[in-house]
Amino acid sequence: MGALDEGHYNVVLENGVKLEAFELEAETVAIEDAVKVLLEGLGEDVEREGLRKTPLRVAKALREGTRGYKQNVKDIVQGALFPEVGVENGTGLAGGAGGLVLVRDIDLFSYCESCMLPFQVKCHVGYIPSGQRVVGLSKLSRVADIFAKRLQDPQKLADDICFGLHHGINPTGVAVVLQCSHIHFPNFQSAFLESNHKRLSSIIVGSGLGTFENHDSANWVDFFGLLRCRDISSDNIRSRNSFKDSWCPSRSQKIAPSTNPNMEIAVASILRSLGQDLCRKELVGTPNRFVKWLLNFKDSNLEMKLNGFATIPLKTIGLTNYKEHIRSEVNLSLWSLCEHHLLPFYGLVHIGYISGEEINPIGKSLLQSIVHFHGFKLQVQERLTRQIAETVSPLLGGDIIVVVEANHTCMISRGIEKFGSNTATIAVLGRFSNDHLARSQFLQMIPSYSL
């Protein structure tokens, strides 16, 4: 069914219980069972504290992130079209020629249909009213959110929003521009080799109907003009066919032979539970790509090789003015996976220590390897911070402070939608534990957080 006429049936059975509740419960249970298979495939104990409720949390997040399949545009815009004298077929007699209405900077998120990872969207929607009616401004963002809460790619999302508004409110024209950012996660091996891995894959796409269908239309000039001081123009909007492989990093990789067919079957079960047709060409290979990415976090009990540094005995440095000897290694890359929601988080790690002649110099590459060793596991940020501090302590003399700053995709993709927020955690050992001035001195060494 199309987005404009699809039904959202809510049949009541004889005992008064709604059929919808049974369907949602069945969907949730099926997703929970599939998530348990994925966790077991990673070598995890699904009954351990921290993972016990993960299958349910993942199921809720996925249902929330794809709720758009159960919504339609008519329900949103009906009752929100208001009469406005002077708006006649786009001439806008009361407000000047064109009468363009633009809503900017609508924050959205969606799930990539190629790899099932969430991506973030900044949406700009404009329309030219007609028929002596305008639509409530909040409805533009709500319609955009309907289509974002589905498995998507950027161009399809822009087209869906544009089509939905054009047929829902019958304007003279509709234009949509999206700025999309997809996390560009390295695999376990390349993370150790690439020190400056690109964190995000970004793209700008557009779509227009009615008087915006012609990309040379003067209405587009008005649209970009009203965006004002935003680095968006017709010149940097990608063409429809130029981004398919470059947008989602996983699409540039060939579909690999299955290394864990049970995990791929589980992902396929999740997609079916979300109402997806696995024969749809856009979903071919999605289970394989998702499992390949997820296996980066397999609990393989790797031995950490510290090139002999682990045998250095812990020493306390007897420096009278030790605050003059605080050293730092900042901006170490972090990639990890939240064990509560199976959603990625990424950011930077900063390590401070008190340096004296008794301490051998430690290379940045070794500290980066320690961060990756603890990052490529199912984690929570608080535990990760403590583990890094405890691991580097015997290498750097015991007086340690570690700060982790990270963006969590679970903060935008499970109904909270705290766009732009990030999390900072701290762990301290030795003299940093009870000397707030030393901690303050190190914190001032950390560059402003920016990802």
Q: Mean of the pLDDT values across residues 54-74?
A: 92
More confident residue, 291 or 232: 291
Whether residue 272 sits in one domain with residue 244? no
Last residue of some domain: 266, 297, 328? 297
Mean pLDDT of 265-270: 97
Same-domain check for residues 135 and 78: yes
Predicted confidence at residue 387, as pLDDT, reads 97
Pick from 32-46, 114-128, 169-183, 246-260: least confident: 246-260
Please indicate, yes or no, if residue 302 is contained in any of the structural domains.
no
User: What is the number of residues in the chain?
Assistant: 451
pLDDT above 80: residue 189: no
Residues 163, 174, single domain; the answer is: yes
CATH number at residue 344: 3.30.1130.10
Count of structural domains, the chain: 3
- Residue 449 included in any domain: no
Contact predicate 409/118, CB 8 Å: yes
Who contacts 261 (Cβ-Cβ below 8 Å, separation ≥6)? Answer: none
Residue 286 phi, psi (nearest 5): -60, -45
Last residue of a domain, one of 263, 297, 331: 297
- Residue 448 domain-assigned (yes or no): no
214 domain-assigned: yes
Q: Is there a single domain that holds both residue 342 and residue 245?
A: no
Q: Which of 93-97, 169-173, 238-242, 317-321 has the highest mean pLDDT?
A: 169-173
Same domain, 182 and 282: no
pLDDT at 318 exceeding the cut of 60: no
Name the domain boundary from 252, 285, 319.
252
Flag whether 304 is in a domain. no
Which DSSP helix (H) or strand (E) runs through 162?
helix 154-169
Mean pLDDT for all residues in the chain: 83
Q: Which residue, chain included where needed, has tokens 């691991």?
A: 391
Per-residue pLDDT at 322 exceeds 50: yes
Parallel, antiparallel, or unpaired for β 200-210 and 343-354?
Answer: unpaired
pLDDT digits (tens, 9 = 90+) for 396-436: 888 999 999 999 988 776 655 666 678 999 999 999 999 99
Q: Are residues 375 and 247 in the same domain?
A: no
Same domain? For 93 and 202 the reply is yes
Tell me the pLDDT tens digit for each residue of 240-255.
666 555 688 887 777 7
- Residue 325 in any domain: the answer is yes
Please indicate, yes or no, if residue 400 is contained in any of the structural domains.
yes
* Domain, as residue range, for 14: 1-60+254-297
Q: What is the pLDDT of residue 380?
A: 96
**141/179 same-domain check:** yes
Residues 319 and 359 in one domain: yes
Is it the case that residue 236 has pLDDT exceeding 70?
Answer: yes
- Shared-domain flag, residues 378 and 419: yes
Q: Which residue has the higher pLDDT, 397 or 206?
A: 206
How far apart CA 151 and CA 115 sit, in angstroms, is: 10
Contact indicator for 267, 294 with CB cutoff of 8 Å: no
Separation in Å, CA 236 to CA 3, 239, 245: 29, 9, 18
Strands (E), 4-157: 81-83, 101-112, 118-128, 133-135, 151-152
- Asked, for residue 451, whether it belongs to a domain, the answer is no
Residues 362 and 386 in one domain: yes
Give the C-alpha separation, 194 to 16, whole Å. Answer: 59
In 281-383, where do the E strands start and end?
326-338, 343-354, 378-379
* 80 & 220 share domain: yes
